[in-house]
């Protein structure tokens, strides 16, 4: 067994991160969103911003693999292409800003983003207009910037698509595949900038196992008729994860 893997397995609190990774995968499996908002606060609190984002990205990237085939059959391809194109342009700017932020301040910013997103979702804040191509491109750019700075690209995408008239399964698949390809983009940018930490990659591989299990179980129990219940569960878990990762508890 590689020494770096042994080091990853010896990480204090790894068992807790495995539990959080499983729950994050479960939520993503049945709702299509929320995984990063649940897992990232925990990994950042344990490892710091860049390593924490790397761990979350690797675990999050592996989790949806068993359900990608179903998602590909249901995705809205034109919107997905626009979202990813805009994200690819703006994401490097967000990563550059991330490297300038103090790690202590970063944790407060991350928790603030998670809780603000949660408040918008619970309060019913929705975009009321038509989902035009320029709007989808703008949302993809905003998601790329937010993902680069705090590692969470999902809030703009989620807020926009919860107002969509597309079928629930199509929305869920579009968000899921966007987040999957976003993870690939982020890893590529980290590698190009020499910020891809090997030990963080291995910890992410370890956390990928419970994440995959959670995704599979979540996808198996998904029922469109229970959408409101799934959202409520995701909201509670997002709030708990964000609040528990605040530096106040250190």
Dihedral of the alpha carbons of 93, 99, 104, 105, in degrees to the nearest 10 = -30
**Burial of 115 from C-beta contacts in 10 A (0-12 / 13-18 / 19+):** middle
pTM over 0.85: yes
Average pLDDT over residues 177-185: 93
Write the DSSP symbol of residue 64. T
Query: Residue 71: helix, strand or coil by DSSP?
Result: helix
Residue 1 pLDDT exceeds 60: no
Q: What is the pLDDT of residues 58-105, one digit of tens each?
A: 998 887 787 788 889 999 999 999 999 999 999 999 999 999 999 989
Query: Residue 162: helix, strand or coil by DSSP?
Result: coil
In 10 A of CB 221, how many CB atoms?
12
Q: Residue ranges per domain, the chain?
A: 3-249
Give the model's pLDDT for residue 129: 67
Q: What is the pLDDT of residues 13-57, one digit of tens each?
A: 899 999 999 999 898 888 767 788 899 999 999 999 999 999 999
Residue 117 pLDDT exceeds 60: yes
Query: Residue 136: helix, strand or coil by DSSP?
Result: helix
Q: What is the pLDDT of residues 133-155, one digit of tens each?
A: 999 999 999 999 999 999 999 88
CA atoms of 80 and 12, how far apart (whole Å): 38
């Amino acid at each position: 067994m590689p020494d770096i893997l042994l080091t990853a397995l010896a990480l204090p609190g790894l068992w807790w991160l495995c539990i959080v990774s499983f729950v994050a995968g479960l939520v993503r499996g049945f709702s299509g969103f929320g995984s990063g908002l649940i897992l990232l606060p925990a990994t950042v609190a344990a490892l710091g911003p860049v390593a924490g984002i790397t761990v979350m990205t690797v675990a999050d990237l592996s989790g949806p693999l068993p359900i990608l085939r179903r998602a590909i059959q249901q995705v809205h391809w034109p919107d997905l292409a626009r979202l990813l194109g805009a994200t690819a342009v703006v994401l490097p700017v967000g990563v550059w800003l991330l490297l300038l932020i103090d790690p202590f301040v970063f944790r407060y910013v991350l928790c603030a983003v998670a809780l603000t997103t949660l408040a918008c979702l619970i309060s019913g804040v929705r975009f009321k207009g038509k989902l035009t191509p320029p709007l989808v491109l703008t949302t993809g750019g905003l998601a790329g910037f937010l993902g680069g700075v705090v590692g969470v690209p999902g809030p703009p995408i989620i807020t926009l698509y919860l107002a969509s008239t597309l079928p629930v399964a199509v929305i869920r698949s579009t968000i899921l595949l966007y987040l999957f390809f976003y993870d690939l983009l982020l890893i590529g940018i980290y590698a190009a900038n020499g910020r891809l930490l090997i030990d963080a990659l291995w910890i992410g591989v370890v956390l990928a196992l419970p994440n995959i299990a959670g995704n599979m179980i979540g996808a198996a129990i998904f029922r469109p008729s229970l959408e409101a219940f799934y959202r409520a569960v995701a909201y509670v878990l997002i709030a708990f994860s964000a609040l528990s990762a605040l530096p106040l508890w250190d």
